[in-house]
């Protein structure tokens, strides 16, 4: 549970009453060092029944805080795609070319709506074009503007980002180096719950949203406000001069551990490993973050110079300033320098310098006067230099590892990878560590080191679910299907992995059984639905295929694979007109998908268009010769004469 214990059971917001007057959204700022004691209470808004009320409700009483907060990086983090929200520049010159996919991207406005045009050229002729309307812009404009579009409750990231510091359009982070997902990268609650106010999702889904906010709001740092608002409307509340207000979290009154947990919920980018039964939306301010998920990062020997853009918390905790200041009492945390209600653009350098001088009053800087003058006596410019981040191109952020400047030679020292470590838990469970190594290899880095470490740790446990994931990732499907899983409750994704393993071993019936079960558990994971539809088409179960196709098209109408398989289904049913219409849409959505080409080939065989059959056969043979041999094509063409 969280760090506080006052009551032993949850009470309904309607039955809890407190007397006295409290101040909601008490300022977090502590420009000089502050001290606090651990309050042994439970915050009543940790109760899962207490609802979020939204920033406008908070503003009705706290307009002074609201009026400045909406101009902060958090307040500007997420909103509808409008000219006012965008920090980008737009002209006919601002095109992005991805040489790996041979695609161009061009952002433009039409009737006050933002679009991104994807197109391909051949001898200056446009041979492919797809225009997608953008619904949301992510990013305050301090570093980047990324672009999202929404469809049937799902959010997708567009393939280009505007990098504000360099005033440059380029491929979005993670889309570079042959990894361009085009318009198919779907976002989940892990992404949205950091870049925005707390979202609401369809029950059991991590992907389908029922409510999306318009920027990080008060309740991300103070917790759900329903109970607090109800108490104030009744003229009731705790006397904050005598203790905390248990209906709302004041981060300044948390211990330094809980303060850091609150900040590193989002300002620590790594591999987030959820605890069993937990969701990313479960964490609330004042809770122990590791009770919900642990955050893993690589650990190195030697110089640790590189960092990701959102590694502020980890780097800060590596600093001797942080370690020494908090060894006995709370003295130096994120809010010693940062007032969450005030934009960093409005926070003068003297504020940050004051935090340094608060401790370094007698021991003056030993740097030469000329260097101090050049730095304008700004401590952060030397001790927290701005550097490029590893994960986000064209972006420079201050390194929060506060230390004496390192020489270039020191910085260039080779790093030796020694493992992963949980930044927010010094004693993680064995199974969580194994999961971290497996997922880090799966999601971030295909270095075999991580699978090797996972294998070493797996030798210490018989956990069948972890072994299943290991065998699935290492493609040892024969071992995967030998695991004793009959009495093990599997998640949707675990059933999918097991089904895929049976499929790879050519055990089609049991493979389809597990894929179907996975889809029944969670029909919002598009990969699972696509595989089930593929199996039904393969086995000629057209009625089942039609049922699944209808469900998938309702949720994912612009998924090229689903549209293409539905076109195949239409052709198999003899509905050639609708099949042709859908296969042409599939080609527009997935122009380089050989399966889409094969659908075209089969359609033109069906309608006996020899010229088109030859055209598509040549394209297929050039890209994937194993699908069609020249002999097969010749026989098909001969039979058409």
pLDDT digits (tens, 9 = 90+) for 89-138: 999 999 999 999 999 999 999 999 999 999 999 999 999 999 999 999 99
What is the average per-residue pLDDT within 51-55? Answer: 97
Residue among 86, 67, 74 at smallest CA distance from 217: 74
CB distance 472 to 442 below 8 Å: no
Question: Residue 547 above 80 pLDDT?
Answer: yes
3-state secondary structure of 274: strand
Share above pLDDT 70 across residues of the chain, in percent, rounded to a whole number: 89
User: Pairing mode, if any, of strands 416-422 and 293-301?
Assistant: antiparallel
Q: How confident is the model at residue 357 (pLDDT cuts 50, 70, 90)?
A: confident
Distance of alpha carbon 322 from alpha carbon 313, whole angstroms = 11
Could you give the count of Cα atoms lying within 13 Å of 531 in the half-sphere of its Cβ? 27
Which of 153, 401, 420, 459 has its CA nearest to residue 272? 420
Separation between Cα atoms, residue 305 and residue 412, nearest integer Å: 8
pLDDT of residue 481: 98
Res 127: pLDDT: 97
Show me where the domains of the chain are located: 1-74+218-254, 78-201, 309-405
Measured between alpha carbons, how far is 569 from 601 in angstroms, rounded to an integer?
15
Q: Kindly tell me if the per-residue pLDDT of 543 is higher than 90.
A: yes
Q: What are phi and psi of 60, to 5 degrees?
A: -60, -25
Express each pLDDT in 427-479 by its tens digit: 999 999 999 999 999 999 999 999 999 999 999 999 999 999 999 999 999 99
Residue 564 vs residues 181, 252, 259, 619: alpha-carbon distances, Å: 18, 55, 50, 17
Q: Rounded to an integer, what distance in angstroms lies between the CA atom of residue 499 and that of residue 412?
A: 47
Answer whether residue 383 shows pLDDT above 60.
yes
Rounded to a whole number of angstroms, the distance between the first and last alpha carbons of the chain is 75
Helix or strand holding residue 317 (H, E): helix 312-318
| Contact assessment for residue 311 and residue 319, using Cβ atoms and an 8 Å cutoff | no
pLDDT-based confidence at residue 226 (cuts at 50, 70, 90): very high
Are 313 and 258 spatial neighbours (Cβ–Cβ below 8 Å)?
A: no
Burial 206-220 (b: 16+ CB within 10 A, else e): bbbbeebbbbbbbbb
According to the model, what pLDDT value does residue 12 have?
39
The stretch 242-252 carries a mean pLDDT of 92
Distances (CA, A) of 565 to 72, 220, 370, 533, 545: 46, 42, 69, 8, 9
Q: Is 386 left (phi over 0), alpha (psi -120 to 50) or beta?
A: beta
- The residues that bridge with 11 in the sheet, in sequence order, are none
Q: Are 105 and 95 in contact (CB under 8 A)?
A: yes
User: What are the angstrom distances between the C-alpha of 355 and each of 325, 369, 454?
Assistant: 12, 21, 42
Each residue of 582-612: b (16+ CB within 10 Å) or e? bbebbbebbbeebbbbbbbbbbbbeeeeeee
Q: What is the mean pLDDT of residues 327-342?
A: 78
Total residues belonging to the chain? 641
Rounded to whole angstroms, the Cα distance separating 452 from 449 reads 5
Indicate if the pLDDT at residue 2 is higher than 80: no
pLDDT of the residue at 9: 31
User: How many CA atoms within 13 Å lie on the side-chain side of 239?
Assistant: 4
Q: Residue 160: name the closest of 147, 149, 151 by CA.
A: 147
Q: How high is the pLDDT of residue 510?
A: 98
Contact between 162 and 88 under an 8 Å Cβ cutoff? The reply is yes
**Neighbour-count burial for 133-150, b at 16+ CB within 10 Å, e otherwise:** ebbbbbbbbbbbbbbbbe
Say which DSSP state 637 is in.
H
Task: For residue 527, give the nearest of 190, 181, 271, 201 by alpha carbon.
Answer: 181
What integer pLDDT is reported at residue 35 of this predicted model?
35
The DSSP symbol for 446 reads: -
What is the reported pTM? 0.87
Would you state the pLDDT for residue 603? Answer: 97
What helix, strand, coil percent values describe the chain, rounded to 5? 40, 15, 45
Contact 138, 217 (CB under 8 A): no
* Mean residue pLDDT across the chain: 88
Mean pLDDT of 371-378: 77
């Amino acid at each position: 549970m969280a760090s506080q214990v006052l009551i032993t059971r949850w009470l309904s917001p309607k039955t809890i009453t407190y007397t006295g007057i409290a101040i909601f959204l008490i300022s977090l700022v502590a420009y000089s060092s502050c001290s606090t004691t651990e309050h042994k209470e439970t915050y009543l808004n940790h109760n899962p029944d207490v609802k979020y009320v939204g920033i406008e409700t908070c503003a009705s009483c706290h307009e002074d805080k609201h009026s400045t907060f909406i101009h902060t990086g958090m307040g500007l983090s997420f909103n509808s795609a409008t000219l006012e929200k965008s920090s980008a520049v737009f002209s006919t010159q601002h095109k992005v070319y991805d040489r790996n996919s041979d695609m161009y991207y061009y952002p433009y406005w039409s009737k006050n709506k933002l679009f991104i045009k994807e197109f391909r050229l051949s001898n200056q002729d446009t041979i492919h074009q797809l225009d997608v309307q953008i619904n949301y812009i992510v990013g305050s404009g301090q570093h980047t503007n990324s672009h999202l579009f929404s469809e049937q409750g799902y959010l997708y990231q567009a393939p280009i980002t505007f990098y504000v510091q360099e005033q440059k359009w380029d491929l979005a982070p993670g889309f570079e180096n042959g990894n361009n997902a085009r318009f198919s990268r779907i976002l989940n609650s892990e992404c949205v719950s950091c870049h925005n106010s707390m979202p609401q999702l369809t029950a059991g889904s991590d992907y389908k949203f029922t409510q999306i906010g318009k920027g990080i709001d008060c309740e991300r740092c103070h917790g759900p406000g329903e109970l607090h608002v109800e108490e104030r409307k009744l003229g009731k509340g705790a006397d904050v001069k005598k203790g905390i207000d248990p209906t709302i979290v004041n981060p300044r009154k948390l211990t330094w551990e809980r303060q850091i947990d609150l900040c590193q919920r989002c300002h620590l980018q790594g591999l987030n490993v959820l605890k069993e039964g937990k969701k990313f939306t479960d964490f609330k301010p004042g809770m122990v973050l590791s009770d919900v998920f642990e955050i893993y990062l690589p650990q190195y020997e030697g110089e640790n110079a590189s960092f990701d853009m959102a590694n502020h918390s980890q780097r800060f905790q590596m600093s001797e300033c942080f370690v020494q200041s908090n060894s006995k009492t709370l003295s130096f945390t994120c809010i010693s320098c940062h007032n969450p209600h005030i934009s960093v653009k409005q926070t003068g350098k003297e504020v940050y310098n004051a935090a340094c001088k608060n401790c370094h009053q007698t021991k003056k800087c030993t740097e030469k006067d000329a260097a101090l003058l050049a730095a304008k006596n700004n401590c952060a410019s030397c001790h927290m230099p701005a550097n490029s981040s590893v994960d986000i191109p064209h972006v420079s952020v201050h390194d929060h590892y506060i230390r004496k400047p390192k020489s270039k030679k020191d910085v260039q020292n080779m790093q030796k990878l020694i493992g992963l470590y949980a930044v927010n838990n010094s004693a993680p469970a064995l199974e969580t560590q194994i999961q971290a190594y497996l997922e880090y290899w799966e999601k971030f880095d295909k270095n075999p080191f991580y699978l090797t470490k996972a294998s070493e740790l797996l030798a210490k446990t018989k956990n069948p679910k972890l072994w299943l994931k290991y065998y699935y990732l290492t493609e040892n499907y024969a071992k995967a299907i030998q695991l004793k899983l009959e009495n093990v409750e599997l998640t949707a994704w675990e059933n999918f992995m097991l089904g895929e393993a049976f499929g790879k071993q050519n055990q089609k019936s049991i493979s389809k059984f597990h894929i179907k079960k996975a889809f029944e558990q969670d029909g919002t994971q598009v990969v699972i639905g696509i595989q089930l539809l593929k199996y039904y088409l393969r086995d000629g179960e057209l009625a089942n295929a039609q049922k699944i196709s209808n469900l998938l098209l309702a949720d994912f109408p612009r998924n090229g694979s689903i549209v293409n398989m539905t076109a195949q289904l239409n052709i198999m049913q003899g509905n050639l007109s609708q099949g042709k219409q859908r296969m042409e849409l599939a080609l527009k959505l997935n122009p380089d998908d050989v399966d889409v080409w094969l659908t075209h080939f089969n359609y033109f065989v069906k309608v006996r268009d020899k010229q088109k059959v030859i055209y598509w056969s040549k394209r297929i043979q050039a890209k994937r010769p194993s699908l069609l041999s020249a002999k097969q094509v010749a026989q098909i063409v001969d039979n058409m004469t």
